[in-house]
Amino acid sequence: MENPPRGLPAPPPLGAAALPPGTFAGQVVLVTGGGTGLGRAVATEFARLGADLVIASRRAEHLKAAQEELAAVPGAGRVTAAVCDIRDPERVAGVFDAAEAAFGLPDVLVNNAAANFPSPAEDLSPNAWRAVVDITLTGTWFMTREFGRRHLTAGTPGSIVNIGASYAWTGGPGFAHSAAAKAGVKNLVETLAVEWGPYGVQINGLVPGLFPHADMTEDIRGGLEHAAPGARDARQPALRVGAPRELGWAATFLASPYARFVTGHTLVVDGANWQRRSVVNPEVVPVREQLGRGPFGP
């Protein structure tokens, strides 16, 4: 007789590290969107492994508390914060200048900053489209280009991790702007791995599944709340959602010496949910259904 389904085991406790202590000691790691949410969780794991951290955000109010929290992580190196609008290439160059002045040229870049909100495609205004694409794709490109230029000029190796989304493969009803932008981010990973690999710069993608956290936008949180009670976990093949630290562990691996031969790859960390998900049975009710305009009802 088969045992009842139990799902994938829970992760190790908060505070555990996925790699040996000091793996990133003496290395500089720059994380965009590092003041909140999953970016902060990723930055925490780099701090735990000894990195000197530069966290960047458009909003100064997000940075101070995050900087203090990250500096207090056991094993952390130095931590500084920089306000940066990644849509502006001059300000992007400025954040790299500030990082170099503080700690040296970043060895690792985590492109986590993005924008998103749900909307039926036909309701997206030109400004709404640009608001998401300019941050998620163009801003990621400006950060990536600046990192690559500096390493190619210096003749030094470097590692980039781009945070992506599974709808880069599948499409995302209600998120046409973000899905298009994330598909571009995924293609940058594949293109630049070949173009910059000979110069020692590796680049990979990292796609999170459902990782609830305190900084989720009200729109996204509202989509989760539309799901029936208990349905969120039951619809995951793992029978649970992810813990943000699990994404941090994956990011540190991809940027570590243990993944030097991994480049041009996008790692999906979602408990196989993107293979399971469908329009009829999502873990997040699509925006069209929330508005009562979809074929499957509210």
Q: What is the pLDDT of residues 81-128, one digit of tens each?
A: 999 999 999 999 999 999 999 999 999 999 999 999 998 999 999 999
DSSP per-residue codes, 157-195: -EEEEEE--THHHH--TT-HHHHHHHHHHHHHHHHHHHH
35 vs 5 pLDDT, higher one:
35
Q: Which phi and psi (to 5°) does residue 188 adopt? A: -60, -40
Q: Identify the pLDDT of residue 275.
A: 73
Helix (H, G, I), strand (E, B) or coil at 206: strand
pLDDT at 286: 60
The answer to whether residues 138 and 111 touch, using CB atoms and an 8 Å cutoff, is no
CA distance 99 to 48: 19
Answer whether residue 137 shows pLDDT above 60: yes
Give the mean pLDDT of the chain: 88
Dist CA 242 CA 251 (whole Å): 14
3 inside domain: no
234 within domain boundaries:
no
pLDDT for the residue 295: 54
Is the per-residue pLDDT at 225 higher than 70?
Answer: no
Please tell me the predicted confidence (pLDDT) of residue 283.
47
Q: Is residue 147 one of the residues assigned to a domain? A: yes
H/E element holding 99?
Answer: helix 89-102
H-helix or E-strand spanning residue 113? none
Using one digit for the tens of pLDDT, what is the confidence trace for 272-285? 877 775 444 444 55
User: What pLDDT is stored for residue 34 in this prediction?
Assistant: 96
We report the CATH number of the domain holding residue 189 as 3.40.50.720
Q: Which residues contact 181 (CB under 8 A, 6 or more apart)?
A: 114, 132, 133, 136, 137
Residue 260 has what DSSP assignment? Answer: T
What total of structural domains would you count in the chain? 1
Q: Answer whether residue 213 is part of any domain.
A: yes
pLDDT above 60 for 226: no
pLDDT at 227 (0 to 100): 55
Q: Output the pLDDT for position 195.
A: 98
Question: Is 4 domain-assigned?
Answer: no
Q: Which residues are the active-site residues? A: 167
The pLDDT value recorded for residue 233 is 74
pTM score above 0.85: yes
124-138: average pLDDT: 96
Tell me what pLDDT residue 288 has.
62
Distances (CA, A) of 41 to 27, 102, 241: 18, 22, 15
What backbone phi and psi angles, to 5 degrees, belong to 176?
A: -60, -40
Whether residue 293 is contained in a domain is answered as no
**One-letter amino acid of 46:** F
Is residue 292 pLDDT above 80, yes or no? no
Domain that holds residue 100: 28-217+247-275
Specify the pLDDT at position 18.
Answer: 84
Res. 298: pLDDT tops 50? no
Residue keyed to tokens 């991790």:
161
Residue 2 placed within a domain = no
Amino acid (1-letter code) at residue 202: Q
Does 36 map to a domain?
Answer: yes
Q: Are 93 and 146 in contact (CB under 8 A)?
A: yes
pLDDT in tens, 240-274: 888 899 999 999 999 999 999 999 999 999 888 77
